[in-house]
Chains A and B, each alone.
Chain A
């Protein structure tokens, strides 16, 4: 069945909800792959169920959800609960992008998403390297 192959750490990424923004998604994919992660890029307009199905099949260590159009809160809510139901309750969940609506300050937004079960919340304009460093820290790599 072939030689043994070591599998690097798998991360599932994608843009959630009815959102077509693709450029940032490609940049994140590239940065993670260059950093040695095995990236499963679900693309854009991804539903929660699709993120979870991919994470379950690939035994992913983390799901990185991007949201850029301001409805992030509605789309992102409930993901942690679904992970628990799907048997991957311990998976790392990160969210980032343009997830602030209006003029609320970011700390409030971050708290809201943390309460929804996200381990880390990243503001708009975050450098992908920051996400990579966070992954390495959280996964002990």
Chain B
């Protein structure tokens, strides 16, 4: 366990921007912050140097440097499991919770077509699950053999039926890319993702960073995790505090960017008494990522997703004009009242859609004893705080306008927060807080609470 130092330089190597943030732990404050756009010509180390140069006069050269990365497409994982709603769902939760992008999710036995698909879009890692402990062995053994033959050089995290492990070790014999850990669903209906998440992170640090051209950066910074994991860690820190003290309570963080929107909820989400839970119980810290919801690269698919619930808004003239501008120049900034209004409307709709997809649902069934209620996923209605992060959330009024759209809108089947207090990440440092939390959690928590500010503003 590292001891905490007094100054940290935190860096996020992104695909569009590289951000740096210098933090003074003793004074519990942010000393400087900078973001430089990425050009494809630079490698991660060069991007880091460029960003560091911007805040150079604040640095004393003695800072501990920690890095998160979403470079080169981020951490890409293919999930393999048995029943889609059971062990495959558990494997997906583990991979998403580790900050990965899921390139494919494969149920039952891997077919030649599945393998061809994986070869066409090669993952950085494969997460192999299937069978409860003592349960089905047939499928995980079959899939292990397929993976051992077709993906010799791809790290494979095995997190399934442990009674099959002796035979699986034989199947992977001599292949040091196979790493074994606890079953993501050791007994029926019980989720157990923490061990798999941690092994994914370790594997990311040891092997993937080299593959992604981050090795030059690793000479200057400790690369600790994929960026989405840093944001989730920050959410968890803010909610739970350090050693259970100082947290603000359950929280949902929405991170809307140019290409994707991540949602991370920290809450149990258990059903009310009298409501039945169906499907696997979701993890307390749950992450989803919507690859079609974003304000630049994904704007066309966001407009598509807005059909139905936000169809009228998507059809407005000023929104369509703005979409054309963005399509022509993706790095453009909104200027003028109409463009800004369009941007905020789209951000609000996008966050609302992402939140709806993330949170649970309740269905009513009519039985011979009257109504019965069935819940899938987490009940987030009573989550008291909704945090917005991302470039668009850096302004109090803008954040308020966006987060206001995320309320439940009166749909009783949708278990999104009913009346959350909206907060926003005014310095866009949640990712840095998550990184810092691994070494200096107390300072990280104090700084987070200073800079997660209530969003309130005039109606737009």
Collect the chain A residues with CB atoms within 8 Å of residue B368's CB. 18-20, 69
- The size class of the interface chain A forms with chain B is 20 to 34
Contacts of B13 in A (CB 8 A): none
**Does chain A have a CB within 8 A of B374?**
yes
Interface of B is mostly: loop
Contact with A along B346-372 (1 / 0, CB 8 A): 000000000000000000011111001
Say yes or no for B87: interface residue by CB 8 A criterion. yes
Contact status of A45 and B86, CB under 8 A, knowing A1-B180, A58-B136, A59-B137: no
- CB pair B85 A53 closer than 8 Å: yes
Nearest-neighbour CB distance to chain A for B327, whole angstroms, equals 43
Q: Per-residue 0/1 for B6-17: is the Cβ within 8 Å of any A Cβ (1 yes, 0 no)?
A: 000000000000
Q: Does B211 contact A (CB under 8 A)?
A: no
Q: Does B268 have its Cβ within 8 Å of any Cβ on chain A?
A: no
Within B182-206, the residues touching A (CB, 8 Å) are: 182, 185, 188-189
Contacts of B365 in A (CB 8 A): 18, 45
B86 touches A57 (CB 8 A): yes
Bound complex: CA A1 to CA B133 (Å): 11
A57 is contacted by which of B82, B180, B276, B366 (Cβ under 8 Å)? B82
Residues of B within 8 A of A53 (CB): 83, 85-86
- Taking the nearest CB of chain B, how far is it from the CB of A17, in angstroms? 9
CB distance from B278 to the nearest CB of A (A): 8
Q: Answer whether residue B134 sits at the interface, using C-beta atoms and an 8 A cutoff.
A: yes
Q: Chain A residues with Cβ under 8 A from B130's Cβ?
A: 57
Interface string of A20-45 (1 = CB under 8 A from B): 11000000000000000010100111
Do A7 and B133 have beta carbons less than 8 Å apart? yes
The verdict on A18 contacting B135 (CB below 8 Å), with A7-B163, A53-B86 known, is: no
Inter-chain CA distance A24–B335, complex, in Å, is: 66
Check A66 for interface membership: any CB of B closer than 8 A.
no
In the complex the two chains form, is B276's CB within 8 Å of A58's CB? no
Give complex CA distance A50, B280 in Å: 11
Contact string against A for B residues 148-178, beta-carbon threshold 8 Å, 1 for contact and 0 otherwise: 0000000000000011010000000000000
Q: Within 8 Å CB of B162, what residues of A?
A: 1-2
Contact of B134 among A10, A21, A43 (CB under 8 A): A10
Q: Are B372 and A18 in contact (CB under 8 A)?
A: yes
Chain A residues 81 to 132 lying within 8 A of chain B, measured CB to CB, are 87
A18 touches which of B83, B133, B366 (Cβ 8 Å)? B366
A7 to B3, CA, bound (A): 44
Q: How far is the CB of B106 from chain A (nearest CB, A)?
A: 15
Contact in complex: A57, B137 (CB < 8 Å) = no
Closest to B137 in A: A59
**Which residues of A, 36-77, contact B by the 8 Å Cβ criterion?**
38, 40, 43-45, 50, 53-54, 56-60, 69
Top-8 shortest CB links A-B: A7-B134, A58-B135, A53-B83, A59-B135, A40-B188, A59-B136, A18-B367, A69-B368
Can you give 8 A-B contacts (C-beta < 8 A)? Answer: A7-B134, A7-B163, A10-B135, A44-B276, A54-B86, A57-B135, A58-B134, A59-B131
